[in-house]
Structure 1
């Protein structure tokens, strides 16, 4: 097949041009900059970015731990212009297969964003706690929803 090499190159080019710009890491901060957390976060990715109303949004958090995790909780809180608007607590072992071995791991969280969500600035706080409710990590990152961040089906 003579053109297959150029077709593969075209696909890679189009992927790089259209898909990769939609997926990029989001800046995050630790809740307590002075604390040495047992779980260190390396990256937060939001998809789609920008977030669109009426669609599911995924937050993927890449992290590393030096000790295995056998139990715990994932606590998520969302604030809108500083006001708490949503919170959820889940079992760490529902999100991940426990025990989580020492090393790299990824937590993914998805949430459907209703079309009535108000536009503006939001802050998501994610905490991972061990079985004794001690914080293993706590991060915050900002995201925004625009006035016209929804799709219209015709």
Structure 2
């Protein structure tokens, strides 16, 4: 019995290091009254907090009732409420196209520049239809950026 307790005491810190650094985050639709064609089911960030100069992946689990042949993914970043960056990507570069009706995943990976200040950020993501430029969804979520490795305290 004492051996089992010793093993448990030794394994708990090890498991804390092995636990995935992916974290689901809360998201909010830009317009709560809008009738979006794409519904967000969840958002995950890996690692979280994001470490500047290292790759970070933002994964969005979504659902659509109709097939999507293509479009744009527009990403706006705010730092302390101030717009600091915007980028646009082809939707088909962030998910497999055409997107069939049902569940699908949007995955965006990038490394933030070394000069990115640590702190709290807001990411606003819009999916724009390629055929008629209709906004299919718009949502936002918060994330943190830190300096250093993912094994350090933030």
- Is the pair's TM-score, using the shorter chain for normalization, greater than 0.5? yes
Is contact 1:65–1:104 with CA below 8 Å preserved after alignment?
A: yes
Displacement of 1:21 after TM fit? 5.5
CA distance in 2, matches of 1:94, 1:143: 23
Match of 1:142 in 2: 142
Matched residue count: 137
What residue ranges of structure 2 are gaps of 5+ in the alignment? 1-11, 150-154
Displacement of 1:114 after TM fit? 2.2
CA root-mean-square deviation? 1.9
**Is 1:93 matched up with 2:60?**
no
TM-score (norm 1): 0.81
Displacement of 1:92 after TM fit? 1.2
Q: Secondary structure at the match of 2:51?
A: coil
What residue ranges of structure 1 are gaps of 5+ in the alignment? 1-12
Match of 2:45 in 1: 46
Is contact 1:54–1:150 with CA below 8 Å preserved after alignment?
A: no
Is contact 1:79–1:85 with CA below 8 Å preserved after alignment?
A: yes
CA distance in 1, matches of 2:102, 2:73: 18
